[in-house]
Structures are given as structure tokens and as C-alpha cells.
């Protein structure tokens, strides 16, 4: 989308995948990247609209420094789309956009102005109890999380971490309170499509066709069953654990090798290797039941808002793999 700003013409996304985190955004991002008429930047999750104008970037608790992947300035964000050829649909995916919906919506309206109504919003939602567990497993895999899950989801712990400006993903509960988040987008944007993770993973081809239709694109060749991307869990053995540490945790060797490989290639290697390195751990049935009660009212309100059948989320059985 071409936007006139300060006497110049800039390219901005035609669509945004706004989350939720751990709900298949990487899978959809990967599928759309293969579409010939879609341009997606190499950097997934710049998080721009969720931090622009805030004057700060959340802290990576492993390094104590601002999260390196976050882009907080407009010029840096616009650079992501400079190479997009005319006629291609431009998009990006950032999972903080759903969680930080108030800041994100405000910034979209400020930057897009009268063009905001043309922006297409894609939301993917997952059973919030299973999503919370999967997010915890991801942070544990990455060396960000050292608390037991039961402790990490305590309200006091979450408040303390957010007060320290840790990245928002430590709010395992808040990320799954979808009702207000989704309502904000439905109220502010006329073009919103909501997908369910569980349905997308059962029939990826159908989800891909639905999204292409929503974006006004002719779907490309079917890509078959979706690969499991960005798998988390416990290492399969000690050797796999060492390999996982090299791939996902900060370290001298990783810092040395990092400049040798483009970011997109590094991400692809991680996605391909994660399923070989890690063994997904299922959510304990008791914890699933406890979390389901935490989210029950929000799920019911969301079902009424969206018209989606969310009754499977209210079942207190163990969820699927992370």
C-alpha cells in the first residue's frame, strides 16, 4: 500500500498478521511467503506498531538489553518494504500486535490515516490454555524462562516481570485473553479475518485458500500438509540439547557465526531443525483444567463476539503438542 507522508510516497503493509503468539503465525507467514504475488520482509515480528512512540523497547532478560529484533523507528520499519515490487501484496506478522492492541491500533491509525480502513487484519487464535503452555515451552527452550510453569503464571510474577520491562510474552495469561483484543480490531477495522489454529492445522490448504481470497489473491499451488514450525519442548537427548543451546540461546559461538548467515536463512534452519531437536511436552490435565477455568468467561464472550464454535476450548482435557 502506497502512503503519502510528508510529501513522499512510502510502501506500507496491505495486511498484518497480528497474532496470537504460538497460534500458527509462523506457519501462515511461511505459506504466504511462497505466494508469487505476496511480499513479506525477511524479518518476522518487527513489532513496530506495538512500540512506536513509546520511547522504549522491551528488554531481553537474557542479555539485559533491548530486544534486538524489535524495530521502534518509522524509517527502520519502512526500510523493510523498500524492495517490494509494485503489484505485490505487502504484509508482515507481529504477535505483540494482538496483545498490545490499544497501542497498535492507535499507531496504525496515526500512520495510515485515511488509508487505515483499507488495511486487512488477520487474527489466528488457539485454545488459550494450550497457547499459554506452548509460549512457556518456547521461552524455556530459548533460555528465557527458569521458573516452573505453575509459578510463572502467578499474577504477581507476571506483574513483576512486566514492571522490569521484560518482553510481553511473559504474560502467559494476558496473551490468551482474546475478547478485548479481538473486539478492538473488529471495532476499528472493517477488514478482519479470524482463523482458529486447530482448524488451520487440520486443513492447511483450506486456510491458505481462505486467506488468499481475503487478500484478493489467486491462490498459488497447494503446499500440502503444514510442517510443524518453531517446535518447542524438551531436547530429545543430551546432544540435541547442546545443539538447541547453540541455535536458540545467546553465546559466543552463536555471535561469531551469526553474521555469516542471513537472518531469513537462520530462521529457516531453526524451523527445520526444531522438530528434530525437541520433543514436545504435553500440558498436564490438571493444569489444563485449572487454566480453562481462568479463561472460561473470556472464551464465552469471544464465542458470542465472533460467532465461532469455541466449545472444544472449554474441555478440560490435555491439549495438543506445543
Domain ranges of the chain: 2-233+280-314
- Give pLDDT, residue 289: 94
Q: What is the pLDDT of residues 244-302, one digit of tens each?
A: 555 666 655 555 555 555 555 656 666 666 656 666 678 889 999 999 999 999 999 99
Q: Per-residue pLDDT for 193 more than 80?
A: yes
- Give pLDDT, residue 272: 63
Q: Per-residue pLDDT for 232 more than 90?
A: no
Selecting from 3.40.1190.20, 3.40.50.300, 3.40.50.150, 3.20.20.80, what CATH number does the domain 2-233+280-314 have?
Answer: 3.40.50.300
- What is the pLDDT confidence band of residue 189, given thresholds at 50, 70 and 90? very high
If you average pLDDT over every residue of the chain, what do you get? 86
Mean pLDDT for the stretch of residues 175-187? 98
- Give pLDDT, residue 248: 61
Range of weakest confidence among 20-34, 163-177, 184-198, 212-226? 212-226
Q: Per-residue pLDDT for 227 more than 80?
A: no
- What is the pLDDT confidence band of residue 157, given thresholds at 50, 70 and 90? very high
Q: Per-residue pLDDT for 239 more than 70?
A: no
- What is the pLDDT confidence band of residue 160, given thresholds at 50, 70 and 90? very high
- Give pLDDT, residue 2: 87
Mean pLDDT for the stretch of residues 65-74? 93
- Give pLDDT, residue 64: 93
Q: Per-residue pLDDT for 3 more than 80?
A: yes
Taking a C-beta distance cutoff of 8 angstroms, is the pair 173, 158 a contact? yes
C-alpha 48, offset from chain centre: 13
Taking a C-beta distance cutoff of 8 angstroms, is the pair 122, 195 a contact? yes
Taking a C-beta distance cutoff of 8 angstroms, is the pair 61, 144 a contact? yes
Mean pLDDT for the stretch of residues 229-236? 60
- Give pLDDT, residue 278: 63
Q: Give the integer Cα–Cα distance in Å for 224 and 203.
A: 9
Q: At what angle do helices 285-306 and 178-188 cross, to 10 degrees?
A: 20
Q: Give the integer Cα–Cα distance in Å for 130 and 290.
A: 12
Output the pTM of the full model. Answer: 0.86
- Give pLDDT, residue 58: 95
**Of 259 and 77, which is predicted with more confidence?**
77
Q: What is the pLDDT of residues 100-141, one digit of tens each?
A: 999 999 999 999 999 999 999 999 999 999 999 999 999 988
Amino acid at each position: 500500500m502506497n502512503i503519502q507522508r510528508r510529501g513522499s510516497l512510502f510502501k506500507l503493509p496491505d495486511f498484518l498478521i497480528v497474532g496470537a503468539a504460538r497460534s500458527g503465525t509462523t506457519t501462515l507467514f511461511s505459506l504466504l511467503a511462497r505466494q508469487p504475488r505476496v511480499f513479506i520482509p525477511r524479518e518476522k515480528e518487527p513489532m513496530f506498531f506495538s512500540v512506536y512512540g513509546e520511547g522504549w523497547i522491551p528488554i531481553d532478560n537474557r542479555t539485559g538489553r533491548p530486544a534486538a529484533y524489535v524495530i521502534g523507528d518509522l524509517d527502520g520499519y519502512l526500510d523493510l518494504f523498500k524492495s517490494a515490487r509494485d503489484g505485490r501484496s505487502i504484509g508482515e506478522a507481529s504477535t505483540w500486535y494482538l496483545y498490545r492492541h490499544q497501542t497498535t491500533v492507535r499507531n496504525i491509525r496515526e500512520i495510515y490515516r485515511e488509508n487505515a480502513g483499507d488495511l486487512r487484519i488477520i487474527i489466528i487464535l488457539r485454545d488459550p490454555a494450550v497457547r499459554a503452555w506452548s509460549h512457556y515451552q518456547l521461552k524455556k527452550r530459548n533460555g528465557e524462562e527458569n521458573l516452573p510453569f505453575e509459578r510463572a503464571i502467578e499474577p504477581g510474577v507476571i506483574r513483576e516481570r512486566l514492571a522490569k520491562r521484560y518482553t510481553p510474552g511473559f504474560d502467559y495469561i494476558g496473551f490468551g485473553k482474546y475478547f478485548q483484543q479481538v473486539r478492538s480490531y473488529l471495532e476499528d477495522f472493517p477488514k478482519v479475518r479470524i482463523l482458529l489454529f486447530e482448524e488451520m492445522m487440520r486443513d492447511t490448504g483450506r486456510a491458505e485458500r481462505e486467506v488468499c481470497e481475503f487478500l484478493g489473491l489467486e491462490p498459488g499451488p497447494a503446499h500440502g500438509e503444514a510442517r510443524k514450525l518453531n517446535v518447542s519442548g524438551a531436547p530429545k537427548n543430551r546432544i540435541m540439547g547442546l545443539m538447541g543451546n547453540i541455535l536458540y540461546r545467546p553465546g559466543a559461538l552463536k555471535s561469531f557465526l551469526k553474521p555469516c548467515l542471513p537472518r531469513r536463512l537462520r530462521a529457516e534452519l531453526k524451523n527445520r531443525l526444531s522438530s528434530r531437536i525437541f520433543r514436545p511436552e504435553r500440558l498436564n490435565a490438571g493444569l489444563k483444567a485449572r487454566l480453562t477455568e481462568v479463561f472460561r468467561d473470556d472464551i464465552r464472550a469471544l464465542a458470542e463476539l465472533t460467532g465461532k464454535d469455541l466449545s472444544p476450548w472449554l474441555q478440560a482435557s490435555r491439549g495438543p503438542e506445543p
